[in-house]
Amino acid sequence: MLRKISHKQIPSRGGTFAIVASRYNARYVDAMLRAAKAEILRAGATVQVVRVPGAYEIPVVVAKLARTASPPLSAILCLGVILRGATTHAQHIGEAVSSALVQIQIQHEVPVIHEVLLLENEQQARERCFDKKHNRGTEAAQTALAMAGVMNSLRG
């Protein structure tokens, strides 16, 4: 069940974020990207956007950013939409991306926010990407900002 996004007052705390977004299923991903970017900028942070061809290509770019970004990133958001088809291909892509992203965040100790959605159909994509009350891009940005705060509190 989709829950309405609560627009929390985010204190301006800065930070540097990256968004890695798939070009595949662009109409859905672009809507999440716009929402995520707006939420991060609203919090007074900076954001770099990197576009990749599809969801499968997201992890290698995330790994490179986690390893080499200067200054170090506060968090990396991953945005993509995978729609199931008649074969198991989508499931394999989703599992590979999920597994890689969790390993990257653990290895590099950079929060990696996973919003590469594996969906059954375009109706689910519309509900999660176009609806302002449930936009997964907004939720991803809020999670990234929260995790940046958690990680900052653990430094020292």
Helix, strand, coil % (nearest 5) of the chain? 50, 20, 30
Q: Indicate the DSSP class of residue 24.
A: T
Catalytic residue list contains 134? no
Residues 6+ apart with CB under 8 A from 109: 151
Cross-strand partners of 81: 117
Tell which residue, 78, 84, 28, 22, has the closest CA to residue 54. Answer: 22
Residue 45 CA, distance from chain mean position: 15
To the nearest 10°, the Cα dihedral for 54, 67, 103, 30?
Answer: -30
Indicate the burial class of 84 (C-beta count within 10 angstroms; 0-12, 13-18, 19 or more). middle
The catalytic residue among 7, 89, 92, 134 is 89
Please identify every residue annotated as catalytic.
Answer: 89
